[in-house]
Chain A
């Protein structure tokens, strides 16, 4: 059985058939996971330094040179690396006195922080399968982002206390700005809200809980919705980026709603993390520094602050190490342009836009397929990864350890 690192569900029931050392057939992989597995054989990165092809050793030496020569290096990415690589990355940032940040900085960070700090009640996906009878997909579309979420953990499977599964025992709702494939599955449980309308929707639920009339949506429908929430034996909310981006600095409103629901019945929150080990990085950095992202080790002390997030740090940093991420495609062009002005070292299994503009490219093994390690699933459960095929490139952790030796 192999583990799929295509998304943060880390499905561990994947059957792989090898032929002459190559993956020939797979079972139980969704299309997203299949893409990850097939990426083994497409657009692999090759070692490069200052525009010319070099061997991996030279690329590592050049990377170490750039990073140790920088006054304030930025170490970014990490969500697609194993826990071991993340630990090596934090150690490297500490040694360099640099800034370390990951993709959660402009993703699920604010919500994940509440969960990791224990300020938001959370549970595991196994709890969802066994006990979660009322589910809310809020600003998330697991069918598209985590294809096996609904079938493996949340809506469809039979659980210990929910033997009749979705047919009778579970009720699911979706709150979204558009009728996503997930919304189509939950059908009558779908609430369409206008973009940015999440705060009003939360206020409407709170009004009904207070015995007042809701100001948005159909009143009868909202009352029936809140009644279902109040009758839940165990509820789960799966907030996606839609909710986090919409609430921005009003996330306390969501906390207030969760706290209010928890007065009656247990309601848990599991953020819909995208990359397979984003939670791993947040948790590891939190344990070591007290911050989940945006940490600077300047002057030998760990300090957390927005100025260390990639968006602000691009103005002050004079070199960058990007690991398993492609900020040039995911950030707006204005920020990507700033990245193009500083020397960038990329560690990635694949060619991507950031690698194209990087001064040094170090190809690494595809974790979970060519290199082992461990990762944290979106709910914080540790999953061990074992290599499935042999690869030619070193793992992220090995490369980072070698850079650390030199700097």
Chain B
């Protein structure tokens, strides 16, 4: 999955501040966190950066399906084992009689649940990774046996 450094390499690297951020590196991080759009970098739209813009759009394309917390689910890789559903600390706290003890979720506040054999992200706003005070929790992705879910 693409990282901030890779995105930075595709910015103009002139730190012009036109996007409202102090550096192009800060812009790359904001782009990855979906706080900024590619179009916010006006110099990048100039003809001399055409190749970089094209490449940047290419690397950013897979991120379009990511949730607000940056979670990407690769349906084709998912076993539907539910490890992430049971391991997620928010699921455990919100659903003590369901996913906390290994059963299917019984609360509508869970973040992850398995539908038709594939995991689905339901309430990304409940995730510890959501919002400005986020915690970089990765229990769902680290317990996945097939790397079917990942964070950008």
* Contact B87 A166, beta carbon cutoff 8 Å: yes
Question: Interface stretch among B4-12, B40-48, B55-63, B96-104?
Answer: B96-104
Alpha-carbon distance A143/B103, docked complex (angstroms): 16
Chain B 102-141 residues near chain A, CB threshold 8 A: 102-105, 113-118, 139
Residues from chain B with a CB closer than 8 A to the CB of A153 are 102
Residues from chain B with a CB closer than 8 A to the CB of A151 are 81-83, 85-87, 102
- A contact face: mostly helix, strand, loop, or mixed: helix
Counting CB contacts under 8 A, is B19 at the interface? no
* Contact A143 B104, beta carbon cutoff 8 Å: no
**Residues of B in contact, count (CB < 8 Å):** 26
Task: Give the shortest distance, in Å, between A238 (CB) and chain B (any CB).
Answer: 15
**Residues of A in contact, count (CB < 8 Å):** 34
Nearest A residue to B82, CB-CB: A151
Contact of A26 among B78, B82, B115, B146 (CB under 8 A): B115
Chain A 185-231 residues near chain B, CB threshold 8 A: 185
Task: Give the shortest distance, in Å, between A106 (CB) and chain B (any CB).
Answer: 26
* Contact A152 B102, beta carbon cutoff 8 Å: yes
Counting CB contacts under 8 A, is A372 at the interface? no
Task: Give the shortest distance, in Å, between B111 (CB) and chain A (any CB).
Answer: 15
Counting CB contacts under 8 A, is B151 at the interface? no
6 A-B residue pairs with CB within 8 Å: A14-B104, A28-B114, A147-B82, A148-B82, A152-B82, A167-B139
Query: Given A156-B86, A157-B101, A166-B87, 19 other A-B contacts at CB below 8 A?
Result: A25-B116, A26-B115, A27-B113, A28-B104, A28-B113, A31-B79, A31-B118, A129-B101, A143-B81, A150-B83, A151-B81, A151-B82, A151-B102, A152-B86, A152-B102, A153-B102, A157-B86, A166-B143, A181-B146
* Interface, chain B (partner A; CB < 8 A): 78-83, 85-87, 92, 100-105, 113-118, 139, 143, 145-146
* Interface, chain A (partner B; CB < 8 A): 13-15, 25-35, 129, 143-144, 147-148, 150-153, 156-159, 165-167, 181-182, 184-185
